[in-house]
């Protein structure tokens, strides 16, 4: 049952107050009122909406206006490509661009495969094969909207908006162009089609909070969500088997490590280190194992789930060398490789994303978009659970996250890591940073 501000449902609830759910809701309501009375300042940060999500209400350029997305004017964008999390960022950027133009975004194609250089292998996959379409629109109602191509009455009258490129195409020029297309002659056209590069590469004009608001509307379709549940139950079950020596119903906590040591990454991160003149980007297998092993406060033995793209791995020995008490598992050893094998790259990665999001402890690389978006999601989760911004990095926080590529302290631990929800752009999350917002 959803917690709803809908009047009808509240009356319904009152009439059946003896049902357990309604009792819980009544208690929740009382708690919320008490919180509002005693901690009025927390209200400025966010409020819980119909779906239990934190609504973020400031920083947006349209804050305060009665913003309505037109349902008969559309924005069309190029196919979205690259890694899952590059695709999620690109998608959100397309949504926010449509929002700025007061238009509905025509549901874009994502890409099932990672082979972006070979155009014929891009394997377009419809957004609604991965994420729930109606759920997206209902969660994002009033903020951004998705439409379908069949909603368009006359595609022949589409006008094109060519994205500029090159050094002279500055962030200001890009913004001016978008404003230009919100005016008279362009604004009348039913469809504006943006042509040019992948939305991930467009200039970013929006604060982290706006992206976070879009990400909260992404809910996996049931088929994939069920696979996620299977994998997570298996991880928790394997823990209690290993620890108690028997199959047990008791589900144990787990640590998830996004070991970004695949071949494609090793090539990429070496280039980045050269460009930034830095040696904190590529972590070896040994460095990851040591730093994860030095995290204090995890009850041992603990299952460590290794989120790696097995097919891209150049090294089968990732299971060896872990500190005593850490029980490493990857997909094969868990026996869930068959689940992953059924799906293309994009869905495998989406399952792993959820597994990392829900882990009790997460450790990733602060230069990976995959890791960065997991940390953004975990930060949102903490804030939703009522953890104040000033407390996010504290030692005792539930669901901590760490960056193994940054040395945290003299004890050899990895650096604590949260997303800076008041950052003015998604730069750090898109391209990585050694600033983990904790220190």
Ligand X SMILES: *[C@@H]1O[C@H](CO)[C@@H](O)[C@H](O)[C@H]1NC(C)=O
Ligand Y SMILES: Nc1nc2c(ncn2[C@@H]2O[C@H](COP(=O)(O)OP(=O)(O)O)[C@@H](O)[C@H]2O)c(=O)[nH]1
Give me the residues that bind ligand X (CB under 6 A), please: 67-68, 70, 102, 263, 266, 278, 280, 290, 293-294, 314, 323, 406, 411-412, 420, 422-424, 434, 437
Task: State the sign of the Cα–Cα–Cα–Cα dihedral 386, 221, 95, 188.
Answer: negative
Asked if residue 370 binds ligand Y (CB under 6 A), the reply is yes
Q: What is the DSSP letter of 116?
A: T
Asked if residue 305 binds ligand Y (CB under 6 A), the reply is no
The Cα 228–Cα 223 span in angstroms is 9
In angstroms, give the least distance from the CB of 222 to ligand Y: 20
The Cα 161–Cα 100 span in angstroms is 14
Is 86 or 420 the residue whose CB approaches ligand X more closely? 420
Asked if residue 430 binds ligand Y (CB under 6 A), the reply is no
348 binds, among ligand Y, ligand X, none (CB under 5 to 8 A by kind): ligand Y
In angstroms, give the least distance from the CB of 374 to ligand Y: 9
Q: Token pair for residue 53? A: 């999500």
Q: Under a CB-based contact definition with an 8 Å cutoff, are residues 98 and 90 in contact?
A: no
In angstroms, give the least distance from the CB of 375 to ligand X: 13
- 10 bridge partner residues: none
In angstroms, give the least distance from the CB of 385 to ligand Y: 25
Backbone angles phi, psi at 282, to 5 degrees: -90, 115
Q: Token pair for residue 11? A: 């009356």
**Binding string, residues 50-89; x marks residues near ligand Y by CB under 6 A:** --------------------------------xxxxx---
Q: Coil, strand, or helix at residue 266?
A: helix
The Cα 308–Cα 58 span in angstroms is 37
Is 188 or 244 the residue whose CB approaches ligand X more closely? 188
Is 56 or 355 the residue whose CB approaches ligand Y more closely? 355
Is 103 or 258 the residue whose CB approaches ligand Y more closely? 258
Asked if residue 340 binds ligand Y (CB under 6 A), the reply is yes
Under 8 Å CB-to-CB from 1, ≥6 apart: which residues?
A: 21
Q: What is the DSSP letter of 115?
A: -
260 binds, among ligand Y, ligand X, none (CB under 5 to 8 A by kind): ligand Y
Among 187, 190, 262, 435, binds ligand Y (CB under 6 A): 262
Under 8 Å CB-to-CB from 20, ≥6 apart: which residues?
A: none
68 binds, among ligand X, ligand Y, none (CB under 5 to 8 A by kind): ligand X
Chain positions 176 to 205 lying near ligand Y, rule: CB under 6 A, are none
Q: Token pair for residue 264? A: 């494609």
Is 111 or 302 the residue whose CB approaches ligand X more closely? 302
Nearest to 259 by CA among 332, 192, 308: 308
Nearest to 417 by CA among 386, 381, 376: 376
In angstroms, give the least distance from the CB of 377 to ligand Y: 13
Q: Under a CB-based contact definition with an 8 Å cutoff, are residues 36 and 46 in contact?
A: no
Among 91, 202, 345, 417, binds ligand Y (CB under 6 A): 345
Which residues form the interface with ligand Y (CB under 6 A)?
82-86, 258, 260, 262, 307, 309, 340, 345, 348-349, 352, 368-370
């Amino acid at each position: 049952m959803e917690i709803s501000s809908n009047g009808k449902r509240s009356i319904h609830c009152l009439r059946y107050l003896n049902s357990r759910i309604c009792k819980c809701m009544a208690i929740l309501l009382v708690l919320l009122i008490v919180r509002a009375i005693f901690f009025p300042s927390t209200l400025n940060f966010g409020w819980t909406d119909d779906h239990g999500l934190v609504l973020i209400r400031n920083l947006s350029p349209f804050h305060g206006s009665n913003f309505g997305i037109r349902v008969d004017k559309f924005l069309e964008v190029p196919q979205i490509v690259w890694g899952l999390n590059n695709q999620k960022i690109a998608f959100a950027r397309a949504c926010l661009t449509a929002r700025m133009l007061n238009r509905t975004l025509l549901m874009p194609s994502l890409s099932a495969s990672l082979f972006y250089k070979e155009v014929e292998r891009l394997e377009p996959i419809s957004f609604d094969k991965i994420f729930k379409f109606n759920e997206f629109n209902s969660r994002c109602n009033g903020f951004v909207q998705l439409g379908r191509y069949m909603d368009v009455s006359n595609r022949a009258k589409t006008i094109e908006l060519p994205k500029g490129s090159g050094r002279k195409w500055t962030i200001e020029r890009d913004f001016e162009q978008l404003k230009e297309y919100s005016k008279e002659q362009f604004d009348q056209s039913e469809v504006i089609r943006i042509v040019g590069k992948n939305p991930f590469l467009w200039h970013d004009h929006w604060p982290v909070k706006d992206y976070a608001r879009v990400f909260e509307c992404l809910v996996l379709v049931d088929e994939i969500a069920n696979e996620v549940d299977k994998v997570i139950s298996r991880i928790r079950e394997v823990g209690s088997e290993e620890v108690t020596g028997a199959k047990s119903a008791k589900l144990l906590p787990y640590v998830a490590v996004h070991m970004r040591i695949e071949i494609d990454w090793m090539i990429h991160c070496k280039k980045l280190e050269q460009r930034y003149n830095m040696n904190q980007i590529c972590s070896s297998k040994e460095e990851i194992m040591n730093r994860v092993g030095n995290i204090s406060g995890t009850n041992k033995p603990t299952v460590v789930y290794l989120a790696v793209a097995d097919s891209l791995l150049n090294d089968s020995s990732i299971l060896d060398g872990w500190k005593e008490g850490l029980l490493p598992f990857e997909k094969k050893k868990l026996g869930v490789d068959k689940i992953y094998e059924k799906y293309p790259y994009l869905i495998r990665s989406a399952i792993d994303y959820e597994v990392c999001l829900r882990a009790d402890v997460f450790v990733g690389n602060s230069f990976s978009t995959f890791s960065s978006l997991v940390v953004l999601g975990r930060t949102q989760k903490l804030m939703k659970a009522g953890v104040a911004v000033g407390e996010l990095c504290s030692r005792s926080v539930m669901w901590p996250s760490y960056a193994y590529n940054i040395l945290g302290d003299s004890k050899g631990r990895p650096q604590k890591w949260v997303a800076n929800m008041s950052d003015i752009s998604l730069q750090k999350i898109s391209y990585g940073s050694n600033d983990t917002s904790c220190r």
